[in-house]
Amino acid sequence: MARIWADIRIGAGARVRLLVPMPAELPSTLIAGICFIGRDGGPVKTLGGFKKSHHTVPDAANAVTNAFLAKLAAGDLATQAETLFQDVRAGLGYKRKDVALSVASPSATLTAKDFAVEIFYSLEESDPARYAITTTLREVRNIHFAQTQEFSRIFAGRFSEISFELKKGVAVEAVIDAVEALDGEGGLTVDYPSDYRDCVLLVEGVEAQVRCTGSSLEVVFPRGGSPAELMTAFAAVHAAFQISKALAALIR
């Protein structure tokens, strides 16, 4: 397998140089199973549909208040989704049959021939006076396409998480044991709570946390980036996992 020296900058002021597989060599089936997730939000009262003279800020997050949020956010969501549609259509040279947009607040879905994007508004459960926007890029069918300058320009800085659904699932305890058996070899360490509900793996040289829940792997980065940037860092995680057969079996 050919490898490259990759300068990976994840986090303010942090730059590392790792020998990793070229992202293009990651299996296409692996990339297709990855979701790129971005998070944003703000105070509910700043939404375009919020009228100070008529509305009050929610004090709980439930079905009723989220339905209220959907009405408040409808205009903002429509504008955001339309802007994305136009950026994708013009930036990637798509024709009418290549891309479609569906908006039904609190969500919007852009379906393109090479990928799909969902934008979803919801109240923050811990602070219902604020709303959250979750943007999910999924079903990326071509890794080379995702690494183009045009694609990166459209989605620059949008995503800070990679979620990968484990096809067969895994016992969290088995993952912990596999990492601990390495005794630090390969720069892998693991942290976990006493009930083993999940575990967090750290890869030396990569400022991202890899959380294993048993059904999924979630790679969380400290700053937003384009899909191409996140895939380069994910390649480093993928390479580190190859040192253990048990861990390598998780990401195929």
User: Residue 80 phi/psi, 5° resolution?
Assistant: -60, -45
Q: What residues does each domain of the chain span? A: 1-33+158-252, 39-138
Residue 138 DSSP symbol: E
pLDDT, residue 19, reads 43
What pLDDT is attached to residue 236? 81
The whole-number pLDDT of residue 107 equals 98
For residues 174 and 181, give the distance between their C-alpha atoms in angstroms, rounded to a whole number: 10
Q: Look up the pTM and report it.
A: 0.82
What pLDDT is stored for residue 3 in this prediction?
41
Write out the chain's pLDDT in tens, 252 residues.
334 334 434 344 444 444 444 454 666 667 667 899 999 999 999 999 999 999 999 999 999 999 999 999 999 999 999 999 999 999 999 999 999 999 999 999 999 999 999 999 999 999 999 999 999 999 988 778 888 899 999 999 999 999 988 877 889 999 999 999 999 888 889 999 999 999 999 888 887 888 999 988 898 988 898 888 888 878 888 888 888 888 888 776
Q: What is the CA radius of gyration of the chain?
A: 20
- H and E: helices and strands count for the chain: 7, 12
Closest of 218, 215, 241 to residue 36, by C-alpha: 218
DSSP of 79-97: HHHHHHHHHHHHHTT--GG
